[in-house]
């Protein structure tokens, strides 16, 4: 059976895409699947033990249960924590979607489930003409939308859902991640999103001062995860 994959998109940057992607990997591994996490483009790295390391890529690798070469898990790594197309320009590089597709195909040949984490929000540019949504289209993957639960999240989530539909992409499900523990009218916001987003709510994650993918995985319903595969 060919691997199933999902593209994990977010309503913004710093709203928990990596946490959710890693939690999904743990959850699917717990259901007996071979899983791999991929971060095609990462911006921001530290020099650790003789190599440049991006913490998001490291978290996804730790949650995967199938070995794979670093250049497959993360084809493009930039040191600067800035918009990826700008980081690429600074480095004199170009983000090529066919290269990412080739890496994804190699990972998909080794695993049952591949989680591909986007970079920033869905329409973040990757080059002068392409953005993260174009990458999702090229990979042909359904999306899981991570909504950072904070003031403004309804507008951000609905705009992202419209962009997903406009590109002809499928929204398989969404995750509510409480990034602001003091968010006012949290329950009402969650209800509004549940009513308006045309896809299942896969999990509601509580605020975590330190992101813990294993803990987050416990909030994901095995029945819902199986249903969307």
What per-residue confidence (pLDDT) applies to 110? 95
What per-residue confidence (pLDDT) applies to 125? 97
pTM for this predicted structure: 0.96
Active site residues: 39
Which residues, listed in sequence order, are joined to residue 175 by a DSSP beta bridge?
A: 146, 203
What per-residue confidence (pLDDT) applies to 195? 97
Main-chain dihedrals φ then ψ at residue 217, nearest 5 degrees:
-60, -30
What per-residue confidence (pLDDT) applies to 3? 75
Burial 121-140 (b: 16+ CB within 10 A, else e): bbebbbeeebbbbbbbbebe
**What domains appear along the chain, each with residue ranges and CATH number?**
4-228 (3.40.50.300)
pLDDT tens for 97-132 read 999 999 999 999 999 999 999 999 999 999 999 999
Kindly give the confidence (pLDDT) of every residue in the chain, 229 residues in length, as a single tens digit, with 9 standing for 90 and above: 567 999 999 999 999 999 999 999 999 999 999 999 999 999 999 999 888 999 999 999 999 999 999 999 999 999 999 999 999 999 999 999 999 999 999 999 999 999 999 999 999 999 999 999 999 999 999 999 999 999 999 999 999 999 999 999 999 999 999 999 999 999 999 999 999 999 999 999 999 999 999 999 999 999 999 999 9
């Amino acid at each position: 059976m060919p691997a199933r994959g999902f593209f994990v998109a977010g309503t913004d940057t710093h709203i928990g895409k990596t946490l959710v992607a890693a939690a999904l990997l743990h959850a699917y591994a717990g259901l007996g699947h071979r899983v791999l996490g991929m971060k095609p483009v990462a911006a921001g790295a530290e020099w650790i033990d003789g190599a440049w390391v991006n913490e998001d890529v490291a978290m996804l690798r730790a949650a995967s249960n199938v070995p794979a070469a670093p250049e497959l898990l993360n084809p493009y790594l930039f040191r600067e924590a800035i918009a990826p197309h700008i980081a690429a320009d600074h480095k004199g590089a170009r983000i090529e979607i066919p290269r990412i597709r080739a890496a994804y195909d190699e990972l998909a040949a080794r695993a049952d489930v591949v989680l591909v984490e986007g970079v920033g929000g869905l329409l973040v540019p990757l080059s002068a003409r392409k953005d993260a949504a174009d990458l999702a289209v090229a990979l042909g993957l359904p999306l899981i939308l991570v909504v950072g639960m904070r003031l403004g999240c309804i507008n951000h989530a609905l705009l992202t859902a419209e962009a997903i539909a406009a590109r002809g992409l499928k929204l398989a499900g969404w995750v509510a991640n409480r990034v602001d523990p003091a968010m006012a009218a949290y329950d009402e916001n969650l209800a509004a999103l549940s009513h308006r987003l045309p896809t299942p709510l896969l999990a509601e994650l509580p605020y975590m001062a330190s992101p813990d993918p294993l803990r987050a995985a416990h909030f994901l319903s095995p029945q819902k995860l199986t249903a969307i595969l």
